[in-house]
Chains A and B, each alone.
Chain A
Amino acid sequence: MTSNQHLDVLLRSMDAAEQSSPPSRERAQSDLMRILSSEPIPAGPNSKTATQPSARTTPNRRRRAVALGGLAAAATAGMLVFPAISGGDPAFATWTAAPGTLIGSERDAAVLDCLSSKQHVGGGMYSTDLSAAKVAIAERRGAWVTVVLSREDGFEATCTTDATAPWFNKGTIGSIGKPSNAPSLPARGIAATQLGTGSIGNKPISIASGRVGTEVTAMSYINSAKERVVVTVSKGQFAFWLPGSELQNASDQGVPVDVTYTDGTTESRRLSF
């Protein structure tokens, strides 16, 4: 009996599309222009189109305006900050104060999304850094995932993304760059490279990330609701974010955090650039 695998290979060698003309870029582009010049129509129950009768009707996903608020990165460090577009959880309803660790395919997808979103920044000026960067942090807070990529020379790329947003509307808020004069941190040092508040539509988001010394094992932040926000600390990097604008002035004034060291002691510190 012939195997399915053998038949599949044989079938693929008889693909009629391989005997047909390859796509014409000129034709494809002219069709695209013509299609875009026509107005899309809102989906309705009486729309006469070729969709299947049983096709699921999904809610209209309206794009929301994005404004870059006070989110700042180390201004002297040549870091670029990006606003986000989003879709799945725009109100941060799924946000959690304690992060989860991304593993497996979820982690791979988040890292790939982050790399893709940064690959063409500045005309690809960071592509070499990105290809050599390692994953320092991959965390989840509800629907939102944060990835921090870093190199030993101080290069960092951070991405916070709504993993449930539609694929064609998946944006990233974060930063990329390498501090021009990043001092080597003392063993108990903490230094932000991203600290402040941005906004997604009408929803503000506060973000902090950066570097920690070798003796820093954990950090936390008490938010305005007196809730302890657990900071992810891993491989010399830290990151956390929270809904709201309470880090709006943090880039100037710093923000208090509790820092735990390898010897088990904890002390209050001020996080700043």
Chain B
Amino acid sequence: MSHPSRPPDRADAFRSLYESSYGDLLRFVQRRTEATNAEDVVAEAFLVVWRRFAEAPVSEDDARAWVFGITRNLLLNSRRGEQRRQSLGIRLADVSPDLFSASHADLVGSRIDLSRAWALLSEVHQETLGLAVFENMAAAQAAKVLGISPVAFRLRLTRARRALRLLFDHLPNHAAGVLAASPEKASTL
């Protein structure tokens, strides 16, 4: 018994990419912009992807990086009216003092310290760490998102990790109740 199935067309292929990456892309945007218009950004990004679908990379990992790269450029373009920017900073979740309790005091304290250290990182470092930690991307794919070489990405990641460690370990501890005196942001490279 034969069962000829219909070959998927261009729309089917796009639908597959859309459905497999929608959630990831929404979170990518939510980390980098105000949550209120994240779905609008995702829709705009997928419209560009659809229009350029003939250029979609062969491998799924590379295609995901390609979609993220398009979305990143959309976000950068939307911000360039105010100030020319090369990188997208990443928001961390709010750490409310209300969450303090005896059993979780250390964890909340660590999060507050990290939040302060993160705020002092350059956007280049935030973006580099974000792709590695939140998007869980390998260097090859993260480099495609940023439009740089994998070697350059690895170098940036090493520097970003070092900068975050230094800030985290050497800022005054939150328990002392003393805020850092607004030091300049760490170097970008």
Q: Residues of A with Cβ closer than 8 Å to B?
A: 1-2, 4, 7-8, 10-21, 23-24, 27-28, 31-32, 34-36, 38, 40-43, 47, 49-55, 57-58, 60-61, 63, 65-66, 68, 71-73, 75, 78-83, 85, 87-88, 164-169, 171
Contacts and interface: CB of A to CB of B under 8 A. Distances in A.
Nearest to A88: B58
Contacts of B23: 23
A167 B58 contact: yes
B52 A10 contact: no
Interface in B2-26: 2-5, 7-11, 13-19, 22-23, 26
Interface residue SS majority, chain B:
helix
Contacts of B105: none
B75 to A, nearest CB: 9
Given A11-B92, A11-B133, A19-B94, A24 B39 contact: yes
A51 B48 contact: yes
A17 B31 contact: yes
A23 B90 CA distance: 19
11 contacts: A14-B114, A15-B31, A16-B31, A17-B30, A38-B50, A40-B10, A78-B1, A82-B5, A164-B58, A165-B58, A167-B63
A19 B50 contact: no
Contact of B54 (A16, A28, A43): A43
Contacts of A13: 107, 111
Given A23-B23, A41-B51, A167 B7 contact: no
Contact of B134 (A2, A12, A65, A82): A12
Given A20-B35, A42-B54, A79 B1 contact: yes
Contacts of A35: 14, 18, 43, 46-47, 50
Given A23-B22, A24-B39, A38-B50, A168 B56 contact: yes
A43 B52 contact: yes
B87 to A, nearest CB: 13
A73 B2 CA distance: 8
Contact of B13 (A27, A71, A168): A168
A60 B58 CA distance: 11
B124 interface: no
B39 A31 contact: yes
A40 to B, nearest CB: 5
Contacts of B47: 35, 38
A40 B54 contact: yes
B134 A49 contact: no
B174 interface: no
Nearest to A28: B22
A23 B27 CA distance: 9
B91 A16 contact: yes
A49 B147 contact: no
B102 interface: no
Interface string B125-136: 000010001100
A85 B8 contact: yes
Contacts of B101: none
Contacts of A71: 2
Interface string B94-123: 110000000000010011001100100000
A171 B18 CA distance: 19
B70 interface: yes
Interface string B170-186: 00000000000000000
A51 B54 CA distance: 13
A57 B4 contact: no
Contact of B161 (A4, A24, A79): A4
